Amino acid sequence: MTDPRKRDAMQLREAGRHEEALTLLGQLFDEADGEPAPSRNSYFMTMLEWQFLLEVYPPAQAPLRARRDAQVERLLAGAEYFGSTAGAEGDFRRAPRFFLIAEMNELLGDARSTYETFRQLDAMYPAQARRYAHAALDAMVEMRDFALAERYCRAPLESLHGVNANAQDIPLYPPSRQPPRLSADLSNLVKDVRIGMAILRGRGADAEANELREALLAGLESAELRDLARRELDAPDTIIRVMVEHQMAEEDRERAL
């Protein structure tokens, strides 16, 4: 169940008590960072609420940037996973630190930091770079390093068949406390296509980029997924916002019972 303090942070933000909300979010983040093997779930809602706070309270950038810088320093020093290292060895729940850094940079609008951090990772720890490259692809494209992006991207429609197959058995909106697997698969597929389109446009192949978009939409068998994919192509992060809103609404209904 979601830590109630995360909802407290939301309520503080909505009440205009921005500094208090920021203090609480910093506390939640630092607590997660102190755990031996925190999963992505330990900081996901905190980062989402930090995003909402940034939209109304720009001073929330500075403490987020400071925490980002600390995470970059630890990553390049060899600490691959978020959280403390004590007792974390072999724990599959561990959240890769580079993924967190990329998410923080998205909130800060700092694609260059993600790009430069990845380039250092690529030079220092190539095996890690191969594992985490997909989280840096947007930054590579924004920095117009299409050669690096093409080196690490996969075939854009590679997972289309798998998404269609999973849609036959997996609900888009899963029961409470179950992971949204189908929406995650769809999000990854759309990202692959979006990156492929960007690389093509970077080469001046606009017609091919448009054809790739249409191939994705035509290939999705579910009208619901097709509509969500179209919205995601036009406004990245639409899928995650839709899923979070659904999750919070479900939690509200459970509390009301």
CB 87 within 8 A of CB 37: yes
Q: Which residues contact 207 (CB under 8 A, 6 or more apart)?
A: none
- The CB-side HSE value for 76 (13 A sphere, CA atoms) comes to 15
Alpha-carbon span 170 to 180, nearest angstrom: 9
Instruction: Please tell me the predicted confidence (pLDDT) of residue 2.
Output: 61
Which of the four pLDDT bands, split at 50, 70 and 90, describes residue 1? Answer: very low
Mean of per-residue pLDDT scores for the chain: 91
DSSP state letter for 91: -
Instruction: Please tell me the predicted confidence (pLDDT) of residue 91.
Output: 55
DSSP state letter for 101: H
Q: How far apart are the first and last CA of the chain?
A: 15
Q: Which two tokens stand for residue 57?
A: 């309270």
CB 192 within 8 A of CB 163: no
Mean pLDDT value across residues 238-255: 83
Mean pLDDT value across residues 158-174: 94
CB 113 within 8 A of CB 72: yes
Which of the four pLDDT bands, split at 50, 70 and 90, describes residue 35? Answer: confident
Alpha-carbon span 17 to 68, nearest angstrom: 24
pLDDT at 180 over 70: yes
Which of the four pLDDT bands, split at 50, 70 and 90, describes residue 215? Answer: very high
CB 153 within 8 A of CB 189: no
Centre a 10 Å sphere on the Cβ of residue 84 and count the other Cβ atoms it contains. 14
CB 64 within 8 A of CB 120: no
Domain regions of the chain by residue span: 1-150, 154-257
Which of the four pLDDT bands, split at 50, 70 and 90, describes residue 87? Answer: very low
Percent of the chain with pLDDT over 70: 96
pLDDT tens column, 42-78? 888 899 999 999 999 999 999 999 999 999 999 999 9
Instruction: Please tell me the predicted confidence (pLDDT) of residue 85.
Output: 65
Q: DSSP letters along 151-203, please?
A: HHPPPTTTTHHHHHHHHTTS-SSPSTTS--HHHHHHHHHHHHHHHHHHHHHHT
- In angstroms, what CA-CA distances link 17 with 22, 53, 94, 116? 9, 10, 33, 35
Alpha-carbon span 43 to 60, nearest angstrom: 16
Prediction pTM value: 0.76
